[in-house]
C-alpha cells in the first residue's frame, strides 16, 4: 500500500472521546480494543444529538408545525450526508433499527414477493432457487437467509474459507449459477479481518441475474467504501460501529430495486392511501420506514459521517493498517499464539482474532480486562467460522482511529501476562 495521506494525530482525536479518559478495574487506563463490537462516540456526535433534542425534536414526516419541519429537515439532511459518504443518493438509503434489521428487511421483502403484485416478481423465491452466502458470515447475514430458505424451499449454499482466512472463490462459477437468486457476502470479516473482493462476485451474480447484498458493517467505518462503484444491489451497515448512535442501521438498495420491492414492516408513514379493505404504499425509502423513526440517532449518525469525513477514511484505513501489522507481528513473537485470519495485512482490516495454547479465550480476556484492556471473546456471532477453524472461541482485538501503538503494547503485555498467570510456557 502506498502512503499518500498524513498520519492521524491520535492524541488530538482521543480528546474528542470522553470515555477514553476514564479508568477501569482499580485505576487502569482504558485500552479499548473492542470497536468491532461497538465504537465509542466523539463529543461532536453526542453534541449533535443533544442539540437536536434541545431545539428541534418532533416526530418526522407528520405535522406541519415548525418543530416538525425542523426535525424532518434534520432527519433528511442526515440521510443525504450519509448517502454522500457511501457514494449513493439519499433516496436509496433506508434507516433501520440496525444492520441486522436491514438484512431481515430484504429477506422478508423477498419472502413477501410471492404474494405481491407482478412488479415484485423478480424478488420472488421459490423451491429450487438458491441463495449463496459464505462460511465467514456474521450470524446476521446467515440466519435470515437460512430462514428464508426454510420458508420458501430454496437451498442455501456457501463459499468456503481457506486455511489462511481468505474467501475461497475457486468455485465461484459453479456456486453462483442460473438458480441463484441472492448472493449475500460480508465485505470485511468481523473475526478474520479479511476484506473480500466484491467485484468478481458482483460480475458473476449479474451474469446469472442474481441480486447481491454486501454486509458492510466492518468496512464502511474503517475505509472508503462506495456502493455505486462496487455495483452491489443492496448493502447494510450500522451506526454504532462508526462513531454513531446505537438504534440506527442503514440499508442501501439500488433505486429501481427499492421501487419494485414489496414492504416488510407495515403501518404508519409507509403508506400512500389506506382504505378499510386495502392500502397502497409510499415510494421508497418511506415505504420501508414504518412508524415514527429514530430521529436523534439519524442526526447523530449524520454527525458521525461528518467526523469521519473530516478525518478521512483513507487515513483511518492506513492508520489501522499499521497498527494491525504491529499487532500481528507482536502476537507472532509470543509462543503458543495462533492468529485466526490472514497474517498478511494486504486486503485486511483491523480485527485480529487469536487463540492461546493452554489458556481458554475467556480466561485470557479476563486477564486482559484486569489490566484495563477491553477485548471481545467468544465466537463473535460467527459460530460456523469458528467451527471451520476448529476452535470454540477466540480473543478478538479490533482497532479504530483512536487506538495507537501503546494500545498494541498493552495487548501484547496482557497476552504474556495471561500465559504467566495460567502457568503456560
The DSSP bridge partners found for residue 29 are: 23
> Chain-centre distance of CA 295, in angstroms?
20
Q: What's the closest the beta carbon of residue 28 comes to another protein, in angstroms?
A: 10
Q: What's the closest the beta carbon of residue 129 comes to another protein, in angstroms?
A: 30
Q: Return the closest-CA partner of residue 91 out of 284, 264, 248, 290.
A: 284
| Beta-strand relationship, 23-24 and 155-159 | unpaired
Instruction: Copy the grid coordinates of residue 338.
Output: 495462533
CA atoms in the 13 A half-sphere facing the CB of 101? 17
Q: What's the closest the beta carbon of residue 167 comes to another protein, in angstroms?
A: 23
Q: Return the closest-CA partner of residue 3 out of 224, 317, 311.
A: 317
Residue 285: cis peptide before it, omega within 30 degrees of 0: yes
Active site residue 217: no
Of the candidates 105, 290, 368, 381, the residue annotated as catalytic is 381
CA dist list (Å): 390 to 87, 142, 338, 386: 39, 19, 12, 6
Instruction: Copy the grid coordinates of residue 43.
Output: 463529543
Cβ-based nearer residue to another protein, 18 or 392: 392
Cβ-based nearer residue to another protein, 117 or 390: 390
342-375 burial code (b ≥16 CB/10 A, e <16): bbebeebbbbbbbbbeebbbebbbebbbbbbbbb
Asked if 237 and 186 count as a contact pair (C-beta separation under 8 A), the reply is: no
Residue the block writes with cell 438509503: 93
Cβ-based nearer residue to another protein, 94 or 367: 367
Cβ-based nearer residue to another protein, 281 or 383: 383
Cβ-based nearer residue to another protein, 8 or 415: 415
Instruction: Copy the grid coordinates of residue 306.
Output: 461528518
Q: What's the closest the beta carbon of residue 385 comes to another protein, in angstroms?
A: 11
Q: What's the closest the beta carbon of residue 371 comes to another protein, in angstroms?
A: 9
At 79 the three-state DSSP class reads: helix
Cβ-based nearer residue to another protein, 281 or 421: 421
Q: What's the closest the beta carbon of residue 362 comes to another protein, in angstroms?
A: 4
At 396 the three-state DSSP class reads: strand
Q: Return the closest-CA partner of residue 62 out of 299, 291, 296, 297.
A: 291
The number of beta carbons lying within 10 Å of the beta carbon of residue 297 is 23
**Separation between Cα atoms, residue 302 and residue 245, nearest integer Å:** 10
Cβ-based nearer residue to another protein, 86 or 375: 375
Footprint of another protein on this chain (CB under 8 A)? Answer: 25-26, 360-363, 366-367, 370, 377-379, 383, 386, 392-393, 421-422
> Chain-centre distance of CA 162, in angstroms?
22
Q: What's the closest the beta carbon of residue 414 comes to another protein, in angstroms?
A: 11
Which positions are catalytic?
381
Amino acid at each position: 500500500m502506498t502512503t499518500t495521506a498524513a498520519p492521524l494525530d491520535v492524541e488530538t482525536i482521543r480528546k474528542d472521546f470522553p470515555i477514553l479518559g476514564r479508568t477501569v478495574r482499580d485505576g487502569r487506563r482504558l485500552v479499548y480494543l473492542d470497536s468491532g463490537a461497538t465504537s465509542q462516540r466523539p463529543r461532536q456526535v453526542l453534541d449533535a444529538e443533544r442539540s437536536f433534542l434541545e431545539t428541534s425534536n418532533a416526530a418526522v414526516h407528520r405535522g406541519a408545525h415548525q418543530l416538525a419541519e425542523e426535525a424532518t429537515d434534520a432527519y433528511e439532511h442526515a440521510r443525504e450526508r450519509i448517502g454522500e459518504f457511501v457514494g449513493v443518493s439519499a433516496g436509496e438509503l433506508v434507516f433501520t433499527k440496525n444492520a441486522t434489521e436491514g438484512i431481515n428487511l430484504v429477506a422478508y421483502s423477498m419472502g413477501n414477493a410471492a404474494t405481491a403484485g407482478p412488479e415484485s416478481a423478480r424478488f420472488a423465491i421459490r423451491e429450487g432457487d438458491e441463495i449463496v452466502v459464505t462460511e465467514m458470515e456474521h450470524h446476521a447475514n446467515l440466519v435470515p437467509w437460512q430462514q428464508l430458505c426454510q420458508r420458501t424451499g430454496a437451498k442455501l449454499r456457501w463459499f468456503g474459507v481457506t486455511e489462511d482466512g481468505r474467501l475461497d472463490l475457486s468455485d465461484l462459477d459453479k456456486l453462483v449459477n442460473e438458480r441463484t437468486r441472492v448472493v449475500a457476502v460480508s465485505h470485511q470479516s468481523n473475526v478474520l479481518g479479511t476484506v473480500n473482493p466484491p467485484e468478481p462476485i458482483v460480475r458473476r451474480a449479474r451474469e446469472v441475474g442474481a441480486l447481491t447484498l454486501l454486509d458492510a458493517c466492518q468496512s464502511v467505518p474503517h475505509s472508503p467504501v462506495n456502493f455505486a462503484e462496487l455495483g452491489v444491489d443492496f448493502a447494510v451497515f450500522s451506526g454504532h460501529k462508526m462513531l454513531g448512535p446505537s438504534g440506527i442501521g442503514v440499508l442501501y438498495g439500488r433505486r429501481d430495486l427499492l421501487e419494485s420491492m414489496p414492504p416488510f414492516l407495515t403501518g404508519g408513514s409507509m403508506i400512500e392511501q389506506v382504505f378499510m379493505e386495502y392500502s397502497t404504499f409510499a415510494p421508497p425509502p418511506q415505504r420501508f420506514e414504518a412508524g415514527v423513526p429514530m430521529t436523534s440517532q439519524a442526526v447523530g449518525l449524520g454527525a458521525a459521517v461528518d467526523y469521519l469525513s473530516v478525518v478521512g477514511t483513507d487515513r483511518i484505513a492506513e492508520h489501522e493498517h499499521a497498527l494491525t501489522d504491529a499487532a500481528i507481528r507482536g502476537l507472532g513473537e509470543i509462543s503458543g499464539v495462533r492468529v485466526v485470519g490472514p497474517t498478511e495485512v494486504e486486503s485486511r482490516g483491523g480485527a485480529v482474532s487469536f487463540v492461546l495454547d493452554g489458556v481458554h479465550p475467556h480466561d485470557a480476556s479476563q486477564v486482559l480486562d484486569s489490566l484495563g484492556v477491553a477485548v471481545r471473546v467468544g465466537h463473535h456471532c460467527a459460530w460456523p467460522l469458528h467451527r471451520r477453524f476448529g476452535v470454540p472461541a477466540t480473543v478478538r482485538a479490533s482497532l479504530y482511529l483512536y487506538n495507537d501503538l501503546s494500545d498494541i503494547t498493552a495487548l501484547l503485555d496482557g497476552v504474556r501476562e495471561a500465559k504467566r498467570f495460567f502457568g503456560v510456557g
